[in-house]
Structure 1
Amino acid sequence: MGHRGWLLGNAVWLQAGWWLCVLGAERPWLLALVVAGLALHLRLAPGGELRVLLGVALAGCVLDSTLGLLGVFAFSQWPLPAWLALLWLVLASGMRHSLAWLGQPLWRAVLAGLLGGPPAYLAGARLAGVELPLGALGTALLLAPIWALALPLALRVAARG
């Protein structure tokens, strides 16, 4: 598979993985497909990928667990549900590939995080049954600056691989 084919496949995987994770909150058997997709990704991706996936996903899980402890999210499982941990692995799997273009110049990642993070969280919360004690608007306003920082940092970590 050529470079463009890999990038397109990775972009499709990110979308499919997001849906599988979020819908897997209510249908846990879908999470097995996510694990299989991540295994395939690791098999096909260049070296150093596992370190990037684990580093970005661990940081993301700590972030979401902290937000849950602070009352931004009300998860049914503590510290966070399995589908959300898998979602962080899915997101991390695009950091060196179909999402890498966001990293340079830096403003792209800041803008993408600012504008893209909150709607993704709100949609995922609605589909997965996650309560938002601050309401949709309060949650979005809190998440926007967090994601304006988190996405560029995750892309930088991934680029250093």
Structure 2
Amino acid sequence: MRRGWLLGNALWLQAGWWLCVLGAHRPWLLLIVVFGLLLHVWLSPGGELRVLLWVAVAGCLLDSTLGMLGVFSFGQWPLPAWLALLWLVLASGMRHSLAGLGQPAWLAVLLGLLGGPLAYLAGARLAGIDLPLGRLDTALILAPVWALALPLALRFAARG
């Protein structure tokens, strides 16, 4: 069951990312995300909801701040629903398929440094999010932010 759960969670993270980003232009896809998140909470062990909410609130505050600083232009404030749901999707893997990324800590730092900006740049392009500073400057800002954010989120989830 454990291996199947981890594989299912990894697949959910991928599907959830695509559904959220494509849901920026097709909002009905976000209903699938909400259903998937509810199913995840129902099937997960205790403490899952706390981790989901903490990571999602922290992530939404982070993205809202970056938006206010002009790194992103969402066209609304604080941020679109698809992006808030995307934070919940990411959080749903913190205690499961992403948990191993926290050990050793340098691995989470490296993956945040590289993977965070790449995910944002790809998502922004697909969802039509404006990057006023340009792709390179945006990536250079996001790299250290995610080098810190991913290890912190993983550490919190491990204790949650």
Q: TM-score, normalised by structure 2?
A: 0.99
Q: Which residue of 1 aligns with 2:22?
A: 23
CA offsets per residue over residues 3-37 of structure 1, 9 Å max, x none?
Answer: 00000000000000000000000000000000000
Counterpart position of 2:55: 56
Confirm or deny that 1:134 pairs with 2:133.
yes
Query: How far apart, CA to CA, are the structure 1 residues paired with 2:150 and 2:78?
Result: 22
Shift of 1:76: 1.8
Superposition pairs for residues 6-155 of structure 1, below 5 Å? 6-155=5-154
Counterpart Cα distance in 1 of 2:149 and 2:54: 13
Report the secondary structure of 2:129's partner residue: coil
Deviation at 1:107, TM superposition (A): 0.4
Q: Which amino acid aligns with 2:103?
A: Q
What SS does the aligned partner of 1:74 have?
coil
CA distance in 2, matches of 1:157, 1:85: 19
Q: Compute the RMSD of aligned alpha carbons.
A: 0.4
CA separation in 2, counterparts of 1:94 and 1:117?
A: 15
Q: Distance in 2 between matches of 1:71 and 1:116?
A: 21
| Percent pairwise identity | 82
User: Please, what TM-score do these two structures have when normalized by structure 1?
Assistant: 0.99
Residue segments in structure 1 that go unaligned for 5+ positions in a row: none
Instruction: Provide Cα deviations, 1:80-102, integer angstroms capped at 9, x if missing partner.
Output: 00000000000000000000000
Amino acid at match of 1:46: P
Give the CA deviation at 1:160: 0.8
